Amino acid sequence: MQNMKKLLLFILTIATLIAPVAATGNIVIVTDPTGEDPNGAAAGSISFGQNMFQSTFLHSKDNNFAVLSGGEGDSAARLGAIVKTIDRLKAGAPPEEAASAAGLFPGVRTMVGTATKGAAVGGSFDVYVVIVENDGTITVTPQTGGIAVLPAGKKGAIIHLRNTHGNPMYGTATKVRQETAMNIGRMIRDGHPATHILGQVFKQVSNDAGEKYGGGGVNLVSGITTGDMFTPEKMNTTGYPMNSPYSKVCPICYWSIGFPRAYDHQVCPECGTPLNTIYAYDALGNALTVAGRSVHVSVHGSDELGIIGTTRKIVASTVRREGYCNVEIANSINQAIDNAILVGVNYVEPRDINVVERSRAVGVYFKPLPGRRSAPPWDLPVSSYILDLIGNIQTAIGLILVLLVLFRSSLIKSFKNR
C-alpha cells in the first residue's frame, strides 16, 4: 500500500506535464466469488487514448483489490478520486462505498474490483452489470452514472465502455458494450476463468470499438499483473495495440521473440519448430492465468522476450526440482548466465527473486548490464586500467585472447566460485 501511495505521488507530480487521458474501457470479472480459484477474478483497462499508465489499475496484493479509473476530468481530479477510493477501502469500506468517492469529482469514474467482496463503479459511467446465477441464468443490466454494483457472492462482471474522441470507430461503443457484456455472461456460464475472459474482452473491444491500446490487467486472486507489458513507454503516446501480434513462441521449447523483430523469424532457432504468433489480448490472458501446477514467472529489468522465455523455463525447471526457493532459483539463473544461455543481464541475488508460493508465482528482477555489454565482467588477472589505455586498438583483442589462454584455470575457478 505504501508503494501505491508513492505511485500516486509520482503521477501527481508529472500530471501537469502530460496531455489529458481517460481509460474508456474498464472491466471487472468475477467467476468464483469464493476466492478459491486462482484465476477466479480479474480486472483491467483499455483505451484509444494516450498515457494509459495513468488509468490502467492500482492494485493491492495484501487486500486483493484493484482500482480502475477514467472519465472526462483532468488528472488532478482523477487522482483525487483514486486517493479517496483507496482510503475508504483501507478503512474497510465495501466496494460500492469506496467507488462512490468518484461522485465528489465531476466527470470522473472509479471502478473497484475484488475477489470476494464484489465490485462497483461510481461517478460518470455507462456500464452493463452482468450477473450469472448458479442455474446459468444471465442478467445484463444497463446503468448510467451514480453507483452500479456487482454484489458479493455473485458471479458476474461490470463493463464500462465509451469511445475516445478521435477514434476512427467513434460511435460503436454503445453496441459493443452490450454485445461484450452478453459474451462475458456466456463465458462465465460456460466455465471460463476470469483471466481468460478478460483477454477475450480486450479482443472484442479493440476489434469492434477501436478502443485498442493497453492498458493491462490484474489477477485479483493470485496478485499477478501485466505491469508495463502494454502501457506506453513515453508520455503523451498510446500503449500497445491489443489486437496486434505481440510475440512468436515455440510450442515445444517455449523460445520466444517479440515484434517487430519476430517478423524475421518463422521457425524456432533452437529446435526448428514453426513458431506460433501470439496476439496481445492472448498474451494478456496468458500472463494473468495460473495454469494447473505451472509456475507463473514475471521478468523485470529486461524487455528481451528471448531472455524472458528462457528465464521462465529455468525458473520452472528449478521449482520442479528444488521447490520455491529463491536461493536455488538465483543459482540456476546465474549458472545460465555463466554458460551464455542468458546473455545481456547481470547476476542476480536471492533478494532479486520474489517468490509467492501460494499463487505459484515467481518474480525475477534483473539488473541490465552497463554500457550495453552482453555478459558480466570477468575477473581478469590484469588491471582494467591497462585495458582502458589500450582502448580500441586492435591488439586489445589479441591481448585478451592471450590472457584467456594463460589464465584459463584461474578464470574457470572464478566462475565456479560465483
Report H helices in 15-124: 75-90, 95-99
Average pLDDT value for residue range 69-86: 83
Domain regions of the chain by residue span: 2-225, 250-370, 378-416
Tell me the pLDDT tens digit for each residue of 360-371: 778 888 887 776
Q: How confident is residue 321, by pLDDT bands cut at 50, 70 and 90?
A: confident
pTM of the predicted protein model: 0.72
Buried b (16+ CB within 10 A) or exposed e, 232-253: beeeeebbbbbbebbbbbbeee
Which triple of cell numbers denotes residue 119?
Answer: 465490485
Residue 382 has what pLDDT? 46
Report H helices in 15-94: 75-90
* Separation between Cα atoms, residue 386 and residue 364, nearest integer Å: 35
Residue 196 has what pLDDT? 94
* Separation between Cα atoms, residue 376 and residue 373, nearest integer Å: 7
Residue 12 contacts residue 76 (beta carbons within 8 Å):
yes
Residue 372 has what pLDDT? 62
Residue 17 has what pLDDT? 45
The rounded percent of the chain whose pLDDT value lies above 70 is: 79
Terminal C-alpha separation, the chain: 36
Higher pLDDT, residue 78 or 159: 159
Q: Which CATH class is domain 2-225?
A: alpha beta
- Return the minimum-mean-pLDDT range out of 51-65, 218-232, 263-277: 51-65
Tell me the pLDDT tens digit for each residue of 259-288: 888 899 999 888 889 999 999 999 999 888
